[in-house]
Amino acid sequence: MKKVFVIGAGGWGTTLANLLSYQFDVLLWAHEKEVAEEINTFHINNTFLPGITLNSNLKSTNSLSEFDQYDFIVNAVPTQYIRSIYSTLADIDFSNKILINTSKGIEQNTTYRISQIFFETTNLPEDNFVVLSGPSHAEEVSRKIPTTVVAASSDISKAKLCQEMFSTPEFRVYSSNDVVGTEIGGALKNVLAIASGIIDGLGYGDNTKAALITRGLAEIVRLGVACGAHPWTFSGLSGLGDLFVTCNSKHSRNRLVGELIGKGKSLSEITSSMKMVAEGVATTISAIELGERHSVELPITQQVYRILFENLSPKEAINELMTRESKHEWVW
């Protein structure tokens, strides 16, 4: 039986650990001791996944002492905390481990994709990294609502192994060899979800939302291709699929941040009241830096940045976007 160590007991980490626990020996690491105790004693995680009864076989811990006993690692730690947590595991040999990342974001300051963080902080071989991404809210997957995602690795056999491990009748996994595209799509959609929420908060309509998703996807494609991604990836689950669901779902924390901003609340007021991390806030900063590094124009992302960090009013930001110099939609 495969032994799987899941790091991160938020809603998504708990959901995936629970899914895997019906087939494998799974240990779920929680940052909060009380969360681990609740999972072990009552088989629930009311803090991050309320209303879901977990498999009694799923065990949780607040310690990383058993980490080295596991060959399969599933990362569900928010992007900005990955380096600090895995740096404590610097003495562990990752050369024979397979790491499946399920978080989405770009690291601040370095502008590293998550795979790059792991390659710098551990001796994980590039071919042993898999990213699992796509339109997949924990609130729905945990209730066995049909969902499809993609597993990407530079070694397609590792992507297919992940595909086999996670697939259930309700959770369908496709495979890909485009790690860069899958990571970029999953990260940048969170920035655009904030913009989508702002549109909702302002009370704008379907036309505005459609324009945002379409032109936002164009930004993702431009930056992704500049970073080495295949453009077709962004027409798939980790691109358009994830963008669509995150921009429209009531479950999206990033969309909620934007909606509250659109209704007049401040960013500090919003984030201080949230239990879970809205990755798009930090990713906005990193995306701007990454765009500058690759000389890629990101007008929507730039306006989200100015709204979040420079107090630009949402209505003024949209007006500036709408009155920009006229351009071709695509130039072939």
Count of C-beta atoms within a 10 Å radius of residue 214: 12
* Extents of the domains making up the chain: 3-177, 181-322
Question: What per-residue confidence (pLDDT) applies to 76?
Answer: 98
pLDDT along the chain (332 residues), means of 10: 96 98 98 97 97 98 97 96 95 97 95 97 98 97 98 98 98 98 97 97 97 97 97 98 95 93 92 77 95 97 97 97 93 64
Question: What per-residue confidence (pLDDT) applies to 277?
Answer: 65
Among residues 187, 97, 192, 85, which one has the least CA distance to residue 133?
Answer: 187
User: Dihedral angle at the C-alpha atoms of 331, 326, 235, 228, nearest 10 degrees?
Assistant: 60
Q: In terms of DSSP bridges, do strands 3-7 and 25-29 run parallel, antiparallel, or are they unpaired?
A: parallel
Q: List the catalytic residue out of 189, 209, 263, 275.
A: 189
Integer Cα distance of 45 and 14 in angstroms: 8
CATH 3.40.50.720 fits 3-177, yes or no: yes
Integer Cα distance of 321 and 303 in angstroms: 8
- CATH architecture of the domain covering 181-322: Orthogonal Bundle (1.10)
Integer Cα distance of 195 and 323 in angstroms: 17
97 is a catalytic site residue: no
Among residues 301, 302, 307, 303, which one has the least CA distance to residue 266?
Answer: 307
CA 324 to chain centre: 31
Question: What per-residue confidence (pLDDT) applies to 276?
Answer: 65
Q: Which amino acid is at 51?
A: G
Three-state SS across 139-207? Answer: HHHCCCCCEEEEEECCCHHHHHHHHHHHCCCCEEEEEECCHHHHHHHHHHHHHHHHHHHHHHHHCCCHH
Largest CA distance in the chain: 61
